[in-house]
C-alpha cells in the first residue's frame, strides 16, 4: 500500500565541471576516440594504486585484464587523473584527506583512520595521488554520461566500495562509486547502485543511507562469514530513505542457482519501482568459485547475465545512463580479465566470443603459472559450477539463500508489483523504456476527483494514469498493469479527474485466478502474522489489499479514504492489508514513521484491525504493519 510524499531534487542536469566552485581536475576532460562500446576508463595512473607485491589487490590484474579487453576492440578513452580535494570532500572529511596525504608522504608514520602497515590498507608512497586518480576516473566518467557524451562507461580500476567518510577499509582509500553517485545527485539524478562484489558494499550504503534519491542494492556473501560483517536483510534505511537499502546475503558456498535467481528476480523489479535516472554498478569478480578470499561459487556465466540485466535496466529506466566499475577479484589471471570483458561486452550489446584468444593465453600463461593461477581458461563462460562438484553443502546453501532472497523481495518490492508478477499480470520486461518526464507528474490539481469502481480493463484502457500514484515508477507501465489486473479478476477502484486516474485502490479477491484461467495464487506477503479479529473469526480466505495510491496534487484531500471505502464495500468477507518499508512514493517519500502513521490511520478508518506482526518479516522490518477487516 503506497501513500507518501517528501522532497524531490531538481531535475536540472549540469555540464561537466559546472558545479559550484572551480571544476576539479577529473572534470571536463576530452575523451579520446573510442571503440563501439562503453567508454573504457584506464590510463597510466591506474596501476599506481598498489599496496605492494604481497597484497591481494594487485595491479598485475591490469596487464591481462586490459589486454583481453583490447582483443575485443575496447580502447581506453579516458585516462584517470586525481580528483581535487574539493571533490573528495563530497563524501570524505577534510581531516581524513589530510591523514591520507600525510601517510602518502610518510607511509611508516603513526597509523590512523584505518591506514597502517600490517593492515588491509597499508600506506604507500603516492597513495593519495593514486587513490584520488581512481576517484577522478569515476567522477570524470559520470560527467561524460551526464553531459550526454556517452551512454555507458566502464572503469575497471574503480569500485572501491568500502571506504568510509573518515576511514579507509577493505583495500579502499577513497570511495569512487559513492563520489560518482554524489556527482550525479548534484546534477539532480536519481541513482540506482547495484553491487555484485562478494563483500557487502558497506561504504556506498553508509554514505548515501539517508538520501531517498539513491537506492543501494548489494548481493554478497553473508557478513556472518566474511568481511565487513554487515549487509543484513534488516538494513533497510531510515527516515525518508527507508526502503532504499537492499541487501541480499548469501550463505556459503552458494552458487549460480541462488545468486543468479536473486539477481534476476530483484534487479528488474527494484529498478521498475525506483525509476532511476542513472545506474552505477560494481562488478567485483571475487564472488567467483575460484576466488581465494571468499566462499561463493558464482561463475562468469552468471556474472555476464548480471551485467546484461544491468544494461537492460539502464536502457529501460535511465535512458541508457550506466557507469560500471570493477572492484574486488583476487584471481588476477583466470577470473578478473574475463569478468571485466563480460561487463564491457554487456554494455557493447555483444555476446561473448566462445573462446578467449589463444594469443592472449600464450602471452600471460607464464606469469599466471608463476602466481599459481594456471591454466588460463579457454572460454569466457565457465562450465557449470566452474567445474567444481555440486555437493550437499552447496545445495543447502543455495536453498537457504533462496529463502533469504524471497524474504528480501517481500521487504523491498512493493506488494502490487509482487502480486502482478506472481499472478502473471505484468513483468518488468513488458514495458518500453521510460524517461524522467514520464515520472514527473502534474504539479496541481485541476478539479475534484470522482471515485468510481470497479473499473474494467476496457474502461482503464481509455484513461491515463497520473505519475506517482502506484508502483511502478513509470505511469504508462502502471496503467498496463492495472488493465491486465482488471482483466484477470483484480478489483480496481479509481479516482478520476476527467480522463486521468489520480488515485487507485487495488485488491486481489480471494477467488481471483493468478492469470486468466489459472488457479488462485495470492502474492506472498506477511503470512507469518497471526492476526485474529475480535469476536467470531471469519475463516474464509481473505481478499488482499494490494495498493492505495494518490497523485501528489490530490493528497491530503480524503481521496485515499474514499478509494478504500468504495473498495471495501465491493468485497464480501475478510480483507488483509499490509504496509512496510517497500510501500512509498519513490520520488518524494515521507519519513517512515509518518508513512506508517498515515497507513494505520487509513486502515483503522476503514474498519481494519491492526494487529501484531511476528516471524522473520517482523524481525527485519519491525515498523511494518498488517491489518484485517472485518
Sign, CA torsion 334/336/337/338: positive
Cα–Cα dist 250/296, whole Å: 8
128 among known catalytic residues: no
> Which residues partner with 578 through β-bridges?
626
Taking the C-alpha atoms of residue 34 and residue 377, their distance in angstroms, rounded to an integer, is 28
User: Rounded distance, CA 181 to CA 170, Å?
Assistant: 20
Q: Are 441 and 496 in contact (CB under 8 A)?
A: no
Compute the distance between CA of residue 579 and CA of residue 350 in angstroms, rounded to an integer: 42
Give dist(CA 630, CA 628) in Å, integer: 6
Q: Which of 381, 396, 242 is nearest to 298 (CA)?
A: 381
Contact 84, 135 (CB under 8 A): no
Q: Which residue has the cell 585484464?
A: 65
Residue ranges with strand state E in 367-470: 450-452, 464-465
Furthest CA-CA distance within the chain: 79
SS3 call for 466: coil
Cα 19 versus chain centre, distance? 26
Q: 419 near 546, Cβ under 8 Å? A: yes
Distance CA 1, CA 517 (A): 27
Contact 11, 188 (CB under 8 A): yes
How far apart (Å, rounded) are the C-alpha atoms in residues 77 and 592?
Answer: 44
Contact 107, 119 (CB under 8 A): no
The helix (H) or strand (E) run that includes residue 219 is strand 214-221
From 162, 199, 200, 317, the catalytic residue? 162
Torsion of CA 341, 347, 348, 353, to 10 degrees: 40
CB count within 10 Å of CB 261 equals 16
First to last CA, the chain: 18
State the catalytic residues: 162
Amino acid at each position: 500500500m503506497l501513500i507518501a510524499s517528501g522532497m524531490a531534487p531538481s531535475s536540472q542536469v549540469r555540464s561537466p565541471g559546472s558545479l559550484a566552485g572551480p571544476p576539479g581536475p577529473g572534470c571536463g576532460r576530452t575523451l579520446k576516440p573510442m571503440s563501439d562500446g562503453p567508454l573504457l576508463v584506464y590510463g597510466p595512473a591506474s596501476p599506481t594504486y598498489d599496496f605492494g607485491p604481497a597484497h591481494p589487490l594487485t595491479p598485475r590484474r591490469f596487464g591481462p585484464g586490459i589486454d583481453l579487453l583490447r582483443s575485443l576492440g575496447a580502447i581506453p578513452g579516458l585516462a584517470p587523473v586525481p580528483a581535487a580535494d574539493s571533490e573528495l570532500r563530497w563524501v570524505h572529511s577534510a581531516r581524513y584527506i589530510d591523514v591520507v596525504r600525510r601517510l602518502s608522504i610518510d607511509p611508516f608514520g603513526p597509523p590512523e583512520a584505518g591506514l597502517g602497515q600490517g593492515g588491509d590498507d597499508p600506506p604507500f608512497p603516492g597513495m593519495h595521488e593514486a587513490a584520488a586518480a581512481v576517484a577522478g576516473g569515476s567522477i570524470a566518467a559520470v560527467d561524460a554520461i551526464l553531459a550526454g557524451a556517452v551512454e555507458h562507461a566502464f572503469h575497471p580500476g574503480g569500485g572501491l566500495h568500502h571506504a568510509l567518510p573518515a576511514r579507509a577499509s577493505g583495500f579502499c582509500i577513497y570511495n569512487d562509486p559513492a563520489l560518482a553517485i554524489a556527482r550525479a545527485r548534484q546534477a539532480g539524478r536519481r541513482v540506482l547502485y547495484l553491487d555484485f562484489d562478494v563483500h557487502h558494499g558497506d561504504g556506498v550504503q553508509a554514505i548515501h543511507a539517508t538520501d531517498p534519491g539513491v537506492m543501494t542494492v548489494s548481493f554478497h556473501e553473508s557478513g556472518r562469514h566474511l568481511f565487513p560483517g554487515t549487509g543484513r536483510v534488516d538494513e533497510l534505511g531510515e527516515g525518508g530513505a527507508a526502503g532504499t537499502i537492499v541487501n541480499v546475503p548469501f550463505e556459503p558456498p552458494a552458487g549460480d542457482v541462488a545468486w543468479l535467481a536473486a539477481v534476476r528476480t530483484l534487479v528488474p523489479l527494484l529498478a521498475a519501482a525506483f525509476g532511476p535516472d542513472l545506474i552505477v554498478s560494481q562488478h567485483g569478480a571475487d564472488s567467483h568459485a575460484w576466488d581465494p578470499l571468499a566462499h561463493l561459487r558464482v561463475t562468469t556465466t552468471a556474472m555476464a547475465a548480471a551485467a546484461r540485466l544491468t544494461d537492460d535496466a539502464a536502457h529501460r529506466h535511465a535512458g541508457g545512463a550506466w557507469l560500471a566499475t570493477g572492484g574486488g577479484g583476487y584471481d588476477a589471471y583466470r577470473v578478473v580479465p574475463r569478468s571485466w570483458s563480460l561487463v564491457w561486452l554487456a554494455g557493447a550489446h555483444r555476446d561473448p566470443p566462445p573462446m578467449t584468444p589463444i594469443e592472449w593465453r600464450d602471452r600471460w600463461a607464464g606469469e599466471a603459472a608463476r602466481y599459481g593461477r594456471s591454466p588460463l581458461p579457454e572460454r569466457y563462460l565457465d562450465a557449470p559450477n566452474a567445474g567444481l562438484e555440486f555437493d550437499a553443502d552447496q545445495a543447502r546453501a543455495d536453498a537457504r539463500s533462496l529463502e533469504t532472497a524471497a524474504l528480501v523481495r517481500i521487504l523491498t518490492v512493493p506488494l502490487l508489483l509482487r502480486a502482478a508478477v506472481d499472478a502473471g499480470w505484468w513483468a518488468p520486461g513488458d514495458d518500453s523504456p521510460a524517461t524522467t518526464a514520464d515520472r514527473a507528474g502534474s504539479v496541481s490539481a485541476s478539479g475534484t476527483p470522482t471515485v468510481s469502481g470497479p473499473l474494467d480493463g476496457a474502461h482503464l484502457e481509455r484513461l491515463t494514469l497520473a505519475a506517482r500514484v502506484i508502483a511502478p515508477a513509470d505511469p504508462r507501465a502502471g496503467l498496463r498493469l492495472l488493465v491486465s489486473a482488471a482483466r484477470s479478476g483484480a478489483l480496481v477502484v479509481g479516482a478520476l479527474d476527467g480522463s486521468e486516474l489520480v488515485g487507485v485502490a487495488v485488491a486481489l479477491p480471494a477467488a481471483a485466478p493468478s492469470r486468466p484461467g489459472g488457479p488462485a495464487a495470492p502474492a506472498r506477503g506477511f503470512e507469518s502474522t497471526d492476526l485474529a479479529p475480535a469476536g467470531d473469526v471469519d475463516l474464509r480466505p481473505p481478499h488482499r489489499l494490494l495498493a492505495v495510491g494518490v497523485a501528489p496534487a490530490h493528497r491530503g484531500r480524503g481521496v485515499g479514504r474514499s478509494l478504500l471505502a468504495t473498495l471495501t464495500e465491493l468485497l464480501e468477507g475478510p480483507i488483509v492489508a499490509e504496509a512496510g518499508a517497500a510501500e512509498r512514493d519513490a520520488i518524494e517519500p515521507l519519513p517512515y514513521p509518518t508513512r506508517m502513521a498515515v497507513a494505520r490511520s487509513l486502515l483503522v478508518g476503514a474498519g481494519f484491525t491492526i494487529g501484531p506482526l511476528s516471524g522473520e518479516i517482523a524481525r527485519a522490518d519491525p515498523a511494518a504493519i498488517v491489518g484485517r477487516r472485518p
